[in-house]
Amino acid sequence: MSGEEEKRRHPRKEVSWPITIIAEHGTIEGEIRNVTVDGLFVFCEEPLRLNETYRMSIIPDKHQAIGVTGKAVWSDAYCMAEDSAAYGIGICLIEITDQDRETLRGILAGL
């Protein structure tokens, strides 16, 4: 067992859902790799600035898109090849309607 203690209030669910992130310079397409009702781990080919907030559209399998606002709280770069990289980004959800949060909670409960 590692010495790290889990700090999340809700368990992560492993997924492979598309996400669209609205940034100042346009949209960024990515993939959600794991999710809770409070946050996301996103994998994409463009970095996000830490501590910035972004409008996002989460697209769960077989469900309508869910619009949220999230804050980039951490980021890691992964070298894919000599001339390319991808980024893993931790997103804290800071704005989601009660209805969308319940929808997300229901989707996660079914996984």
pLDDT for 70 equals 98
* Domain containing residue 55: 13-109
Chain centroid, CA 81 distance in Å: 24
Give the residue ranges of the chain where pLDDT is below 70.
1-10, 79-83
Name the domain count of the chain.
Answer: 1
66-82 pLDDT, tens digit each: 999 999 999 998 766 66
pTM value is 0.85
Say which residues have a Cβ less than 8 Å from residue 55's Cβ, sequence separation at least 6.
21, 22, 67, 68, 69
At 35, which CATH number? 2.40.10.220
- Please give the structure tokens belonging to residue 2: 């590692």
In a domain, 103, yes or no: yes
